[in-house]
A and B are shown apart, each in its own frame.
Chain A
Amino acid sequence: MGIETPNGFKLDNSGKRVVVDPVTRIEGHLRVEVNVDDNNVIRNAVSTGTMWRGIEVILRGRDPRDAWAFTERICGVCTGTHALTSVRAVENAIDIKIPENANTIRNIMQLTLQVHDHIVHFYHLHALDWVDVVSALSADPKATSALAQSISDWPLSSPGYFRDLQGRLKKFVESGQLGPFKNGYWGHPAYKLPPEANLMAVAHYLEALDFQKEIVKIHTIYGGKNPHPNWLVGGVPCAINIDGTGAVGAVNMERLNYVSEIIDQMITFTEQVYLPDVQAIGSFYKDWLYGGGLSGKSVMSYGDIPEHANDYSASSLKMPHGVILNGNLKEVFPIDHRDPAEIQEFVTHSWYKYPDETKGLHPWDGITEPHYALGPKAKGTRTNIEALDEEAKYSWIKSPRWKGNAVEVGPLARYIIGYALGKPEFKDPADKLLQDLGVPLTALFSTLGRTAARALECQWAVRQLRYFQDKLVANLKAGDMATANTDKWSPDKWPAEAKGVGFTEAPRGALAHWIKVKNGRIDNYQCVVPTTWNGSPRDPNGNIGAFEAALMDTPLADPEKPLEILRTLHSFDPCLACSTHVMSPDGQDMATVTVR
């Protein structure tokens, strides 16, 4: 039985049901069910967030200045982005202005996260969807070296280097203990790389694992640790003392040099390893352009990385801001986070209750009453789900919509919007990559496009890091050492009631927190996060979200080994701990189970 969704997808759940649970190589817990037709093409997709933590109710009644630490623990992969969003929300509510240096250091922290997250995502969460580790064993190290040297100047590229690595890999495989590579879909027909490209990619998988730990040292210097660096309402916690008494206890010349050195390494790795790898791998898969989903229709980006402190207008934001609807790249709509009619969350198909589930709620007025129940057509039992009923409630993720529209968020959305706005820093590299691969602009609207946009964005981010670190030094040279504004540190100086919103672009996409403050305490706190947008279930009108849309119409070579499903889901870099944390005060009254 086929139905057409308002956002233009034909769903048919009559074919064989394929379940992937757990979906691995993501943050958190995700389940996916699809129906395939007789040709093993996906004709219906059901994405389910399968965890829920309730951070927001925990925040009620607490000190707003502490909220960054709680919300930071929503996610340890995109560590820091929730904290930044939170301090921005509090500063917006209380009208606290931060110093220029604080804005610059926050940008450096956020860009560092983007680079780290994109590199780890590509190599450690996504690459194995394209790279066959076992095939690398039959590569010729000399030919691998020639391949590597033809695409990059990266020095680790000699025949001996690849021979040694291959030897190590061989012994590992022969040990019979494959560790994290156990039971992968090795030899699957959807793998297209020659053995040499596989060996090169495995080498870079291991190199990236070593390198990523260097990147985060920037968080350690400015924030004290990573994961979960420290933040501060009103600025940043790290005081600056370049050369005075006690400078060793602050950000000093040595620390600035340390950051600068890491940025140089990030630029080199991104430009000599990450980008060439994505382009090389992409060249073997450019005929596999499935997975576009909503990207060719509706995308959204809040924008981020303000050039000027306290100015979050589109003109100050270096990441693009806006919404594109129905594939019309000629019009980019602005977003107003405070308008109750724009961003709303629905729960018709989510395990929550609303008084009126045909309507959505703006986050400031958001309520979240959990209500776990399977639909009548579900198979299995309440605690042993075999198949879900997507006509009923089926996910711990809510359905956020922008003016009723399901949108995709993330690096590809940002690139499409930057492209539509004609910003050369986004348009030119995208055009060049498309040209080098010999594919049209529409190729961007795909799984591979999402993966490519992330790599391009990483290059943009490393250059911005250089820019902001230099900007910081220039500002210090001009004599401005301020890192925090403490005028309104004490809640005694706050209005009795206030509300605010803070937003960022997390590596995975648009993120915002809405806060209400009453008598110096949190009265209400709501987060709407990237994977809530992308992983959302259907809304009351039947619009499907970005994950579900992207899986549609993809052929599976072998439904028993649904590599193509993983490939497309991973291209979003899903973060489930982020997406499924909302909670209302009603949660306090839920039934409890006695611990033995």
Chain B
Amino acid sequence: MAVTETFYDVIRRQGISRRSFVKFCNLTAASLGLGPLAATQMAEALETKPRTPVIWMHGLECTCCSESFIRSAHPLAKDIILSMLSLDYDDTIMAAAGHQAEAILVETKEKYKGQYILAVEGNPPLNEDGMFCIDGGKPFVEKLKWMAEDASAIIAWGACASWGCVQAAKPNPTQATPIDKVIRNKPIIKVPGCPPIAEVMTGVVTYITTFGRLPELDRQGRPKMFYSQRIHDKCYRRPHFDAGQFVESWDDDNARKGYCLYKMGCKGPTTYNACSTIRWNNGVSFPIQSGHGCIGCSEDGFWDQGSFYDRLTSINQFGVELNADRVGMTAAGVVGAAVAVHAAASVVKRLTTKTDA
């Protein structure tokens, strides 16, 4: 009979001492505002609990989320898969296929009822009785709901599972539907982006397995730790925006100097994501740094907000410093006008300063 490895076994195997382990539990408990008793309970739980099983299902999607996940630099995808959780089902990398793969789902549902995490990449189409996405001869939506029944929590990977993404762009011919519209009775954490940043994905997963709960979410269901600020807020080109220095045309002198891409249609001012801070592929760059505006890929319905090269304008509302929660109440486009005003104000300010000087 195989012995089930616990989180404690794993960290001991990786050379972490018992003393460090207890310290970790104490610190964690303290940071959660819990007392010493909780630390003991946590230590006990981590010592005896097997690695959390994860079932990773694919609906209508392009697999960019899986591809992003394996790009994670800290932690490495290898270490997550081997040590931090138990990725028992993932169509894209699993060895098993056909009925041997299906058997894993049945087993997980029974053996880990209420304990496994369901990670969903892509979404179910509802038209044509769901048969625009067939899995095991049946509509994907059935399999999704069936596996959701006994999951402890559900992760909606990327724009597809969170909002619908490209196949749900107008006119959404397959009626591709975000998963929270078909699963109503489970906690769902949305990790949007097309795809999400690798370290955001692994950060979310390891947070859940380490702390045993979902991270703090905003009203749209996104983890605040990664999605509470706009790309514009932390963009390294922001000083050029404030100074009224803009790229006017592709590959012009201003582009070569790294000026602000707002006039080229950059959606950074209305996009909540961590691209300008964590950046991409272990911090190498992010879209704006490489000369193209943000296309807003972590926002709901970003495909239907006009061209990616249209300047954010047109709506008459001030209040640039709205937070994610308040923006979540309205359409993403609402901030656009405010930004236009904001940009104009910045230029005015610069001119004023010049005059004064």
Nearest chain A residue, comparing its CB with the CB of B290: A224
Interface residues of A in 171-210 (CB under 8 A from B): 171-185, 206, 209-210
Q: Mark B91-109, 1 if CB is under 8 A from A, else 0.
A: 1111111101101100000
Question: B167, A54: Cβ atoms under 8 Å?
Answer: yes
Interface residues of B in 42-83 (CB under 8 A from A): 50-51, 53, 58, 60-68, 70-73, 76-78, 81-82
Nearest chain A residue, comparing its CB with the CB of B83: A172
Nearest chain A residue, comparing its CB with the CB of B308: A66
Among listed A235-243, A324-332, A441-449, A462-470, interface-contacting one: A235-243
Say whether, besides A22-B98, A372-B128, A587-B171, A225 and B281 are in contact (CB < 8 Å): yes
What chain A residues lie within 8 Å of B249 (beta carbons)?
A: 486, 489
Interface residues of B in 258-310 (CB under 8 A from A): 258-259, 275, 280-282, 284-292, 295, 297, 303, 307-309
Bound-state Cα–Cα, A180 to B96, Å: 8
B181 at interface by CB-CB < 8 Å: yes
Name A230's contact: one of B4, B140, B177, B290 (CB within 8 Å).
B290
B22 at interface by CB-CB < 8 Å: no
Among listed A25-33, A300-308, A498-506, A507-515, interface-contacting one: A25-33
Question: A177, B50: Cβ atoms under 8 Å?
Answer: yes
What chain B residues lie within 8 Å of A232 (beta carbons)?
A: 250, 292
A contact residues, range: 35 or more
Name B97's contact: one of A22, A52, A221, A592 (CB within 8 Å).
A22
Say whether, besides A51-B133, A76-B67, A595-B182, A249 and B289 are in contact (CB < 8 Å): yes
Bound-state Cα–Cα, A227 to B51, Å: 29
What chain B residues lie within 8 Å of A65 (beta carbons)?
A: 307-309
A383 at interface by CB-CB < 8 Å: yes
A317 at interface by CB-CB < 8 Å: no
What chain B residues lie within 8 Å of A216 (beta carbons)?
A: 71, 281
Among listed A86-94, A279-287, A476-484, A526-534, interface-contacting one: A476-484
What chain B residues lie within 8 Å of A31 (beta carbons)?
A: 134, 137
Bound-state Cα–Cα, A183 to B2, Å: 15
Question: B169, A66: Cβ atoms under 8 Å?
Answer: no
Nearest chain B residue, comparing its CB with the CB of A561: B100
A416 at interface by CB-CB < 8 Å: no
Say whether, besides A29-B133, A177-B88, A244-B256, A228 and B250 are in contact (CB < 8 Å): no
Bound-state Cα–Cα, A204 to B126, Å: 41
Bound-state Cα–Cα, A370 to B131, Å: 11
Interface residues of A in 370-408 (CB under 8 A from B): 370, 372, 380, 382-386, 396
Say whether, besides A23-B97, A74-B62, A486-B250, A57 and B173 are in contact (CB < 8 Å): yes
A542 at interface by CB-CB < 8 Å: no
Bound-state Cα–Cα, A181 to B13, Å: 20
Nearest chain B residue, comparing its CB with the CB of A177: B86
Name A577's contact: one of B62, B139, B142, B171 (CB within 8 Å).
B62
Bound-state Cα–Cα, A382 to B130, Å: 10
What chain A residues lie within 8 Å of B181 (beta carbons)?
A: 595-596
A588 at interface by CB-CB < 8 Å: yes
Question: B307, A63: Cβ atoms under 8 Å?
Answer: yes
Question: A225, B280: Cβ atoms under 8 Å?
Answer: yes
What chain A residues lie within 8 Å of B284 (beta carbons)?
A: 217, 220-221, 258
Interface residues of A in 157-173 (CB under 8 A from B): 168, 171-173
Q: Mark B1-19, 1 if CB is under 8 A from A, else 0.
A: 1111100010001000000
B156 at interface by CB-CB < 8 Å: no
Give the one of B5, B9, B61 with max A CB within 10 A: B61
**From residue A12, how far is it (CB to closest CB) to chain B in Å?**
22
What chain A residues lie within 8 Å of B175 (beta carbons)?
A: 592-593
B20 at interface by CB-CB < 8 Å: no
What chain B residues lie within 8 Å of A52 (beta carbons)?
A: 125, 132-133, 174
**From residue B309, how far is it (CB to closest CB) to chain A in Å?**
6
Q: Mark B113-130, 1 if CB is under 8 A from A, else 0.
A: 000000000000111111
Say whether, besides A24-B96, A66-B308, A489-B250, A227 and B256 are in contact (CB < 8 Å): no
Question: B96, A183: Cβ atoms under 8 Å?
Answer: yes
What chain B residues lie within 8 Å of A4 (beta carbons)?
A: none
Q: Mark A47-85, 1 if CB is under 8 A from B, else 0.
A: 000111111011000110110011001111101000000
Nearest chain A residue, comparing its CB with the CB of B165: A73
Say whether, besides A24-B96, A58-B169, A588-B173, A175 and B258 are in contact (CB < 8 Å): no
Bound-state Cα–Cα, A383 to B128, Å: 10
What chain A residues lie within 8 Å of B155 (beta carbons)?
A: none
Instruction: List, sorted by A's number, 25 A–B pairs whose CB atoms are closer than 8 Å.
Output: A24-B94, A25-B91, A28-B58, A29-B140, A52-B125, A52-B174, A57-B171, A70-B166, A73-B62, A124-B70, A174-B3, A175-B4, A180-B87, A209-B78, A224-B287, A225-B290, A227-B67, A236-B291, A238-B290, A244-B256, A249-B258, A380-B137, A587-B173, A590-B173, A592-B126
8 smallest beta-carbon distances between A and B, as pairs: A249-B258, A76-B64, A176-B2, A246-B257, A184-B95, A175-B5, A224-B287, A224-B290
Known: A76-B61, A225-B287; 20 extra A-B contacts, CB below 8 A, are A58-B166, A58-B170, A58-B171, A70-B303, A76-B65, A125-B93, A174-B2, A175-B50, A183-B104, A209-B77, A220-B281, A220-B285, A224-B285, A228-B194, A482-B251, A486-B249, A588-B171, A590-B127, A593-B175, A595-B126
Which residues of A are in contact with B by a Cβ distance under 8 Å?
19-29, 31, 50-55, 57-58, 62-63, 65-66, 69-70, 73-77, 79, 120, 124-125, 128, 133, 168, 171-185, 206, 209-210, 212-213, 216-217, 219-230, 232, 234-241, 244-251, 258, 370, 372, 380, 382-386, 396, 481-484, 486, 489, 561-562, 566, 577, 583, 587-588, 590-593, 595-596
